[in-house]
Structure 1
């Protein structure tokens, strides 16, 4: 019996327009009417995530920043897991040494040290996820989106490192060359043993405290709600979703999910552009999960969180 549904956002709940479709919203509301809890688990920060759910009149709790922060339905922070300042300095040095751009999400909001690069990173995401949009239009759309988002700009991230009042929760870095550049960086950062390195798209890696993972945060939330893990349904598409796909009794991978990520899910659903969340919820509510059963596959020997 499913008592809690937990969905990723980008590539899962959101379509290529970065919106929650009416069909997905309707399915979520129907599940909630039946007494099923709904929660979002995302790599986004709260101020980036909540407005997209408010647009479709859904109020829920959030696991944000891959598990570094958890918010209740009233929008209050109930958990913070940050990265040590010495480690932050080392991470940024490694990123800058490779000539890459990065952003930080902190207890005081999102910070960037380059507005042009910030727009470029959002434009690249919009361009890659929406083939009907030209890159020029993606830049225009990105600039418009940034105007309504609360982004803070600093000249140097060392300002944040030395500010004792600010806790750094996640660092994200980008490269249009994808894994070719980001793979070696990930391997270097993983040597510390105290970081969780994941990705939400092929052009980024997301860096958190080793204890800031969606699966860990979900387990804690489940305990507070007194819901067994076997009664939880999770949906995701990328490597930052693996930890929650692994712990849930009902785990769904999107049709558009990374192939390795699919190996961690028990079930399959349609793509994020074809209302995959709604499709999965309908199968679950209609007790028709057999039709979504994933084929037997050999799990990769390299575990990714």
Structure 2
């Protein structure tokens, strides 16, 4: 019997408008009424995750930043898994040497040093997801995303985290050319050791401490609740979801998931635009 459902957010729980549909909300509520706990597992930070969940009035425990930060349903920290500061600075050095744009995440903030690059990247991403959308709509959608995904622009990220005495929990790097550009940086960063490098889409890499992975975080949370892996269901669409798909006794890949990710899951549901999470939950509850 399933006692815990862990769901990714982007490309999974959320549709392409970054919303949780009414059908998905009803499915989650139905699972909760049946005694099944629901937890989100995302690469997002707290501000970005809460923006979408609050709109849907979903108040659940959250695995954030790929497992580097885990909160209970009241927003209280259960545990963090930071990247040691000096190693984080080495990662930043590599990305700068490779001329790759990146952002850093702490428990409460997302920091960037270049607003224009971020806007350009997201506008291209919106246009890619909706190729028939007019330029005017692309601009409006990008503006909406910037509101939903707030960020702090600072002159010097290293100085900021030192002055604020913050832990660096995740670093994300973006490049529109994808693996062709990111691969060299990824190889150099991986050589630094004790890091987990994954991706939530082809155009980025997400860098965490080796123990900050969704699968590890889901396992720790489940064990704290007395729940075994066989009683866990996980749903995801991309490479940073693989560790939890492998851990869970029951796993679903989204219809829009990467082909390699689908191979890691026991089942494949429909896409995030077709209420894939709701369909997966309904399938399990019916069984």
TM-score, length-scaled by structure 1: 0.90
More helix by share: 2
Query: How far apart are 1:144 and its partner, in Å?
Result: 3.5
Residue equivalent to 2:82? 82
Confirm or deny that 1:145 pairs with 2:145: yes
Give unpaired runs (5+ residues) of structure 2. none
Residue equivalent to 1:101? 101
Secondary structure of the equivalent of 2:156? coil
Query: How far apart are 1:238 and its partner, in Å?
Result: 0.5
Query: How far apart are 1:164 and its partner, in Å?
Result: 6.3
Residue equivalent to 2:256? 256
**Alignment length (residue pairs):** 287
Give unpaired runs (5+ residues) of structure 1. 288-305
CA distance in 1, matches of 2:137, 2:144: 11
Residue equivalent to 1:301? none
Q: CA RMSD in A?
A: 1.6
Query: How far apart are 1:50 and its partner, in Å?
Result: 1.5
CA distance in 1, matches of 2:138, 2:82: 32
Secondary structure of the equivalent of 2:163? coil
TM-score, length-scaled by structure 2: 0.95
Is the contact made by 1:16 and 1:126 (CA closer than 8 Å) also made in structure 2?
Answer: no
CA distance in 2, matches of 1:132, 1:10: 21
CA distance in 2, matches of 1:108, 1:30: 31
Query: How far apart are 1:150 and its partner, in Å?
Result: 3.9
Secondary structure of the equivalent of 1:63? strand
Is the contact made by 1:88 and 1:161 (CA closer than 8 Å) also made in structure 2?
Answer: no
Change (3 A) 1:251 1:178: same
CA distance in 2, matches of 1:110, 1:48: 9
Runs of 4+ deviating beyond 6 Å: none
Change (3 A) 1:160 1:194: farther
Change (3 A) 1:89 1:59: same
Is the contact made by 1:17 and 1:130 (CA closer than 8 Å) also made in structure 2?
Answer: no
Confirm or deny that 1:189 pairs with 2:189: yes
Residue equivalent to 1:240? 240
